[in-house]
């Protein structure tokens, strides 16, 4: 049996792709080395355009337990500077504080609902590309076996075995100077700021929550999560990593060094998993290409970068949402020539911008008096609201437009839960035009638009075509339908009822 798509890796990116493929009528198989939920503390939330995108899929409420669309964030950080966002016009930045484990659990549940098979405890050990399929060797709990697929997607992280086996280059740089130490801690009540939730350090002051706090010796971050967990992180170039396992006293000593004051923190007593971690240096790399034949890279397998500003899941999950419908179109046989190639041409420039701004943030947050002088100048620039808004758009990923594609579409409610392309027509004239594509594009005639008269929306919620005319230009609409959704089905010129 040859499967349509095999995904290697059941992290958030691989699971998101599995859901998107299933919505598009292609049910993948997911291979995951782990045999249970990860106990490693990874991302602590979502930042950027992916938050409203999850709402478009009906998944935001499943993470938050609250109905309604997400609201823009009141503030964030850039290079250890606070970004006050509440008063800027058209604030583009959304935040959602939720641990990665919860995101993975939600996406795994959704994937199961959609019929996706997740094989836990299965590791890819070798692969061979043929003209019409990929042959993968896998080790599972019951022994070795072979699996064949028309396409294979590497979603197995920054150290991707799949990427290495497939011969992708992964150029970039490795920075070994900084060492970051993180621990879960308990905070005595008297050392917590009742107004902000920040950490009160005697003899120093208050460390604001969920921000990078810089001194000339390094960075400290304090994260008091709604579930009661508290994380403290310290990063500096002045405390090299040893060979022994990291300890809580080592973490607290590093925090005290960066701040120049002892920190009143205690060992954690709440339920786990508890974090105790030391990370040396970091990598900034982007794969030489995102696809080699029938193997495609996704998320961290395609790009790694600094975590400054929290852009990782925003980038990877939107990679998955961009790739899903295009790969499904290729599998189902209606993809226009070059459609799958637009996955890289659209998403690589976004990754390059993330690499650029995270490197810039790391430099702005670095130690030393020269950086302090740079920060003094940068703080003056940040007094301009338009500068703040531009940085917010950079972090959100809304400052970049795909070639020939419009902005993120307005919220269309539950219509986007299906993940299908939509033609929203308020003129009532476009049904005959879209009829040959009705096997893959839904027609909506009863939903008003905030602006314009008609709009063609891609499954990733970007506008592929729009009109402000009472009689829209049908030739440009047909061109957009062909470009993104292939040649029309000659037997689909039948009349179809609008999808309300």
| Lowest mean pLDDT across 25-34, 265-274, 350-359 | 265-274
Alpha carbon distance 131, 119 (integer Å):
26
Please state, for a pLDDT cut of 70, what percent of the chain lies above it: 96
Alpha carbon distance 448, 424 (integer Å):
8
Residue 422, phi then psi, degrees to nearest 5? -130, 135
- pLDDT value at residue 177: 79
Rounded to whole angstroms, what are the CA distances from 380 to 4, 373, 374?
54, 11, 10
Residues with Cβ < 8 Å from 283, sequence gap 6 or more?
158, 172, 173, 174, 175, 304, 305
Q: What pLDDT, in 10s, does the model give residues 164-184? A: 999 999 999 887 678 999 999
CATH C-level class of 2-172+284-396: alpha beta
- pLDDT value at residue 498: 42
- The three-state DSSP-derived secondary structure of 453-475 is CEEEECCCCEEEEEECCCCCCHH
CA-based radius of gyration for the chain: 24
Q: Distance from CA of residue 46 to its chain's centroid?
A: 7
| Residue extents of the structural domains in the chain | 2-172+284-396, 176-282, 407-485
CATH 3.30.70.2450 is held by the domain 176-282: yes
Confidence of residue 490 (pLDDT cuts 50, 70, 90): low
Helix axes 312-332, 12-23, angle to 10 degrees: 30
Q: What is the mean pLDDT of residues 88-94?
A: 92
pLDDT at residue 404 tops 50: yes
Confidence of residue 202 (pLDDT cuts 50, 70, 90): very high
Q: What is the mean pLDDT of residues 374-398?
A: 95
- DSSP characters for 171-192? -EEEEEEEEEEEEE-B--GGGB
pLDDT at residue 493 tops 50: no
Q: What is the mean pLDDT of residues 79-83?
A: 93
- pLDDT value at residue 251: 95
Residues with Cβ < 8 Å from 366, sequence gap 6 or more?
none
Rounded to whole angstroms, what are the CA distances from 396 to 78, 91, 316, 350, 359?
12, 10, 13, 11, 16
- pLDDT value at residue 239: 86
pLDDT at residue 496 tops 70: no
Q: What is the mean pLDDT of residues 305-318?
A: 89
Bridge-based pairing state of the strands 75-78 and 199-201? unpaired
Q: What is the mean pLDDT of residues 282-305?
A: 96
Any bridge partners for residue 126, and if so which? 137
- pLDDT value at residue 45: 85
- pLDDT value at residue 38: 66
| Lowest mean pLDDT across 131-135, 246-250, 280-284, 347-351 | 280-284
- pLDDT value at residue 494: 42
Q: What is the mean pLDDT of residues 317-325?
A: 98
The reported pTM is 0.91
Fold (CATH) for 407-485:
Glutaredoxin (3.40.30)
Rounded to whole angstroms, what are the CA distances from 114 to 15, 25, 295?
11, 10, 23
SS3 assignment, position 319 = helix
């Amino acid at each position: 049996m040859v499967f349509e798509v095999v995904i290697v890796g059941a992290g958030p990116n691989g699971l998101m792709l599995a859901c998107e493929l299933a919505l598009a009528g292609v049910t993948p198989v997911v291979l995951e080395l782990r045999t249970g939920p990860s106990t490693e503390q990874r991302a602590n939330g979502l930042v950027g355009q992916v938050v409203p995108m999850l709402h478009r899929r009906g998944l935001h409420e499943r993470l938050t337990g609250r109905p309604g669309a997400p609201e823009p964030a009141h503030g964030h950080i850039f290079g250890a500077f606070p970004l006050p966002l509440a008063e800027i016009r058209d604030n583009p930045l959304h935040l959602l504080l939720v641990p990665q484990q919860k995101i993975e659990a939600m996406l795994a549940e959704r994937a199961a609902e959609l019929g996706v098979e997740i094989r836990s405890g299965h590791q890819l050990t070798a692969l061979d590309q043929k003209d019409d399929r990929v042959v993968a060797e896998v080790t599972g709990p019951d022994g070795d076996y072979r699996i064949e697929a028309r396409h294979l997607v590497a979603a197995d992280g920054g150290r991707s075995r799949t990427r290495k086996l497939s011969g992708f280059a992964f150029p970039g740089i490795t920075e070994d100077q900084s060492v970051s130490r993180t621990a879960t801690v308990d905070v005595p009540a008297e050392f917590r700021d009742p107004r902000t939730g920040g950490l009160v350090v005697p003899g120093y002051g208050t460390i604001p929550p969920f921000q990078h706090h810089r001194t000339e010796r390094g960075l400290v971050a304090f994260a008091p999560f709604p579930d009661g967990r508290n994380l403290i992180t310290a990063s500096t170039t002045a405390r090299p990593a040893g060979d022994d396992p990291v300890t809580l006293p080592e973490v607290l000593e590093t925090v005290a060094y960066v701040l120049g004051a002892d920190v009143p923190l205690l060992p954690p007593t709440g339920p786990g998993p508890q974090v105790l971690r030391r990370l040396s240096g970091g990598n900034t790399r982007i794969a030489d290409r995102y696809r080699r034949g029938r193997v495609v890279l996704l998320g961290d397998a395609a790009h790694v970068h600094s975590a400054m500003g929290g852009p990782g899941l925003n980038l990877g999950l939107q990679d998955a949402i961009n790739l899903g419908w295009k790969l499904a179109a290729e599998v189902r046989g209606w993809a226009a020539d070059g459609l799958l190639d637009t996955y890289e041409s659209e998403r690589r420039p976004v990754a390059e911008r993330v690499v650029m701004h995270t490197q810039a943030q790391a430099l702005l947050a670095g130690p030393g008096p020269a950086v302090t002088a740079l920060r003094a100048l940068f703080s003056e620039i940040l007094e301009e609201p338009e500068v703040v808004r531009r940085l917010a758009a950079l972090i959100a990923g809304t400052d970049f437009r795909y070639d020939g594609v419009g902005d993120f579409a307005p919220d269309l409610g539950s219509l986007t839960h299906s993940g299908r392309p939509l033609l929203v027509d308020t003129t009532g004239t476009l049904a005959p035009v879209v009829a040959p594509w009705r096997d893959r594009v839904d027609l909506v005639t009863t939903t008003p638009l905030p602006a314009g008269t008609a709009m063609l929306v891609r499954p990733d919620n970007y506008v592929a075509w729009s009109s402000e005319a009472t009689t829209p230009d049908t030739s440009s609409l047909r061109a957009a339908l062909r470009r993104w959704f292939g040649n029309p089905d000659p037997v689909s010129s039948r009349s179809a009822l609008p999808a309300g």
